[in-house]
Amino acid sequence: MGAALEELRPIGLEELIACASLQTRVDRKYVLPADVAEELLGRLPSGTRVLDIDGDRSFAYRSLYFDTPELTSYLLTAHRRRRRFKIRTRLYEQSGDCWLEVKVRGNRGSTVKQRLPYEPRDWNTLGPGRDFVDEILAENRIAGSPLFDYVPTLTTRYHRTTLHLPDTNSRVTIDTGLTWVDGDREMCLPDTVIVETKTGSTASHVDRLLWRSRYRPSRISKYATGLAALRPHLPDGPWRRTLRRHFPPDLPRTAPDAGPRRAEVPVTGSPDVAPVCPPLQERLDAVMSR
C-alpha cells in the first residue's frame, strides 16, 4: 500500500487531533483481503490526507490488554452486556510514547475512550494507573472494579496507517501485519487488513464506498476475537461469523499444543463447556443490575 499512500497529502498529528480527536464516536470495522484494501486506497475522495510524522506513514503499535483471571471484561462482551469495558496499554513503538486506555460502551452503541499518559517502562502493569481505571469504570456505573485483580491477558501487534476525511472530519485506520500473542501461542493474519472508520453520527465516504462494494461492518474486536481464536473453548457468539470467515482453524500458532481446532470444540452451551464460575457470575450480575 506504500505507493497509494505516497500520493496522499500529509497531515500532522496535532492538526489531526484538532480536527478529528473523536474520543466519543461510532466505530465501524471491516475485515478485508489485503488486495481489496489496496484497491480501496485508489478510490478515496479528493482531499483525503494521511497522518505523516517525520516522513513515516505507517506506525507500529503494541497493545497489552488486561482482564481478570476469570476474563470478566471478555465475558461481559461475549454475553453482549450493555455495561462492558476494555483496559489496555498502548505503546507506539517508533516514538516510544505510551498510554493507558479505558474503553466503555456509550449511548446508542458509541465507544467512549479515555486515556492517561503512561511511562513506557510500566506498559505491562496497571499499578501506576489503577486509580484511573477504577475511577473511569465507576463513572460509567460499572461496579466492582476496585475488587478485581487485573492481569496481562493478550498482546496485539500491527502497523497502522491513519487517514483524515475532511468532509466529515472523520478518521479511517488501516491495520496490517496483524499479530496476537497469548502466552506461548502466536497467531498472524498477514493477508488480512482491518479497516476501521471512526465517525460522529454521520457515516463517512469510506463507509459508503465499502457498502457499495458489498462490504459490511464486521463484528470484530482485536482483544475479544483474537482471544476467542486462540482459546476456542471460550463463548464466541458475537464473533462466530467473523471467526469462521477470516480466522481459519488451521492458522499457524507457535505452540504445538495450541488446542483443538474450532470445529472440534463443542458449541457454546453444551454440557461439555464449563459454565461461568459462581464468584464471577455474581460480579457480572452486579454490573448488569446497575
pLDDT (tens digit per residue) in 84-137? 999 999 999 999 999 999 999 876 666 788 999 999 999 999 999 999 999 999
What pLDDT is stored for residue 264 in this prediction?
Answer: 29
What pLDDT is stored for residue 27 in this prediction?
Answer: 85
Q: For the whole model, what pTM was predicted?
A: 0.81
The percentage of the chain sitting over the pLDDT mark of 90, rounded to a whole number, equals 63
Q: Which domain holds residue 161?
A: 2-288
Q: How far apart are CA 286 and CA 290, in angstroms?
A: 7
| Mean confidence (pLDDT) of the chain | 84
Buried residues in 8-18 as b, exposed as e (16+ CB within 10 A) = beebeeeebee
Give the number of domains in the chain: 1
Sign for the pseudo-dihedral over CA of 115, 25, 45, 245: positive
Specify the CATH number for the domain of residue 146: 2.40.320.10
pLDDT tens figures, 238-286:
999 999 999 866 654 444 343 433 332 222 232 222 333 344 444 444 4
What pLDDT is stored for residue 290 in this prediction?
Answer: 40
